[in-house]
Amino acid sequence: MITDSPRITRTDSDSWSAIFRPSPNESLQEKQDRIARQQEAARISKEIDDAIEKSRKQLEKRKSAVKVLLLGQAESGKSTMLRNFQLAFCPTYFRREIPIWKVIIQLNLIGSVKRLLAIIEDELDTSSSRSNNRSDQPIAGPSSRPATASRASASPHVSTSSLSKHVSFDLKHHSTDPPLTQAHSALRLRLLPLLSVEINLARQLLPEFGGESPPLPSSTGWTKWASGTGDYSSHTLLSGHGEICVRAGGAWKSVLERVTGTLRNPSDNSEDDPPDHFLSQPIQPRSPSSGKFNTRSMRHHPSDPTPLLEALASDIHALWTDPAVKALLKRRGVQMEHSAGFFLNDVTRIGQPGWRPGIDDIVRARLRTFGVEEYRFSAENGSDWYIYDVGGSRGSRSQWVPYFDDVQAIIFLAPLVFNQMLDEDKMINRLEDSISLWREVCGSSLLAHANIILFLNKMDILESTLKAGVQVKTFVPTYGSNPNNMEHVVRYFRDKFRAYHKRLSPKQRSFFCHGTSAIDTQATQVVLSGVREGILRGHLEKLSVI
């Protein structure tokens, strides 16, 4: 005999309905509580639905946005180019961040001083060793400069046959150049407090590497600290050459906002000016008799480098312009002027009380970041742009490709510095490394649909290098007997990049190339204006809008 099974109603099977089903003997209070729970559950459900819908709309909007990837090796000028983009989209972008960038520029200046002092310390140590051994080596010769020979032999571009000539040349200059004296050593000691400023700020910028403030290095510890090989790097997460790094994102700005917040004038409530009005009280320089800094009249954050730099600006200027120091740098082939974030020539201006950086200063500033940063801009026509800046270090390159397969364009920065080596690996030429990365990007199937725009960057450095008589063929043997001038050098490297682009691209795409000097904001804005127009037009064509 077939019997009908009991029907299972929707209400019986719905666990949520069971929760809110009134009990047979429900009291008035229980009813009110049940209704309140229902209303709260409905509210939460609506919030979830609204959030899902908002995310869906944002995703759809993001799909139609223009996405650009900035690529290049470390110190290729990506961050500088990004700031130019920010200025192109919003000319007043940095107005409210002037106090923050002031500290970054001051840190750049301290970093240059630190590097300069490390070179001076090494020279003083070398001179001291040579003086102690002079009785054992009465006859001057190539063997009397082992450190120089070691540096020359380590260079991949100096042949063994020319080594003795190189050493003799160095000795000749050493014998005629003004020597370093005790005055240089004393000046170095007076600048030692700058270390504590950088260490303290680095500890705040990366608190996970903080803890107790590390001890200051001794007066003979500059070289290790400046190169990032000493114990201090573990506290501050310095890069390989003693440069402060920060994580991608805006956390570092929050730290510097706290540092610069005490500089704001509490009585000034103007909304038209950036919040960087400094107290009208002048910074009191140290007393010549006491040799100490008068801090009673200063209302600066303890980590703010402003008071110290204002007090030591004249000492820094004296050291940088000293003939013996200039001769030492020339003899060692050090061109600090070509380094990113170089402000030694501006130390007098930066050391003035109340100094505020201009746009050109901010564009030139250097802050090394690790990780991927995303920047969103809205153009005048209403289109949204996303620009991604990824780490340029060699160890992080293989990690980013799979995450950017939807970008419409890649701006690749290749600095034409053919006579410099990577900070990460002194045996690898910078230009060779750029070409290697270029080949990798061009040949990537994941990036095949993106147009690649090549910026041959740092044209100003290339021009000064060629004017100094540096021969390209010395570092790039395949350049051969081509004329050693801007026109032919730029054409040679542009053709080399073009050839790899054509041969390695998975599918045919146009080749775009521009010569740039990212620190020249006016010229770069002109280039970026055309690039923006081209990228947007190509994006709209893909969307079938035009």
Q: Are 517 and 524 in contact (CB under 8 A)?
A: yes
Q: What is the residue-wise DSSP string for 475-516?
A: H-GGGTT---SHHHHHHHHHHHHHHHHHHH-SS----EEEE-
Give the Cα separation of 470 and 419 in Å (integer): 8
Candidate from 41-55, 161-175, 302-316 with smallest mean pLDDT: 161-175
Higher pLDDT, 288 or 84: 84
- pLDDT of residue 7 exceeding 60, the answer is no
Mean pLDDT of 278-282: 26
pLDDT tens figures, 333-342? 888 888 888 8
The residues pairing with 69 across neighbouring beta strands, listed in sequence order, are 388, 410
Q: What is the residue-wise DSSP string for 7-44?
A: P--HHHH-HHHHHHSPPTT--HHHHHHHHHHHHHHHHH
Q: Is 373 helix (H, G, I), strand (E, B) or coil?
A: strand
Q: Are 112 and 339 in contact (CB under 8 A)?
A: yes
Give the Cα separation of 432 and 497 in Å (integer): 11
- Which run of H or E residues covers position 70? strand 66-71
Most trustworthy range by pLDDT among 20-29, 177-186, 328-337, 343-352: 343-352
**Number of Cβ atoms within 10 Å of the Cβ of 135:** 7
Give the Cα separation of 100 and 357 in Å (integer): 10
In the chain, the amino acid numbered 413 is L
Higher pLDDT, 229 or 201: 201
pLDDT tens figures, 411-465? 999 999 998 888 778 888 999 999 999 999 999 998 998 999 999 999 989 999 9
Euclidean distance between the first and final Cα of the chain, in Å? Answer: 73
Domain map (residue ranges) of the chain: 65-94+369-542, 98-133+140-363
How far is the CA of 378 from the CAs of 228, 375, 387, in angstroms?
40, 10, 11
Q: Where are the beta strands (DSSP E) in 173-272?
A: 245-247
Confidence of residue 210 (pLDDT cuts 50, 70, 90): very low
Give the Cα separation of 438 and 447 in Å (integer): 12
Which residues have a Cβ under 8 Å from the Cβ of 133 and sit 6 or more positions away? none
Mean pLDDT of 487-506: 95
Torsion of CA 457, 458, 463, 466, to 10 degrees: -90
- pLDDT of residue 273 exceeding 70, the answer is no
Confidence of residue 316 (pLDDT cuts 50, 70, 90): very high
pLDDT tens figures, 97-142? 888 899 899 999 998 999 998 898 888 887 776 665 544 444 333 3
Which is it for the CA torsion 428, 433, 436, 441, positive or negative? Answer: positive
Q: Which CATH code, of 3.30.1490.100, 3.30.70.380, 3.40.50.300, 3.90.230.10, is assigned to 65-94+369-542?
A: 3.40.50.300
The residues pairing with 375 across neighbouring beta strands, listed in sequence order, are 387
Ramachandran bin of 282, using left for φ above 0, alpha for ψ from -120 to 50, beta for the remaining angles: beta
Phi and psi at residue 545, to the nearest 5°: -80, -35
Nearest to 194 by CA among 260, 267, 253, 110: 110
Give the Cα separation of 10 and 7 in Å (integer): 10
pTM > 0.75: no
What are 452's two structure tokens?
A: 């690649």
- Bind-site residues: 369, 457-460, 518
Torsion of CA 271, 100, 343, 180, to 10 degrees: 130
What are 133's two structure tokens?
A: 């051994």
- Bind-site residues for Mg(2+): 369
DSSP type of residue 207: G
- Bind-site residues for GTP: 457-460, 518
Q: Name the average pLDDT for the chain.
A: 74
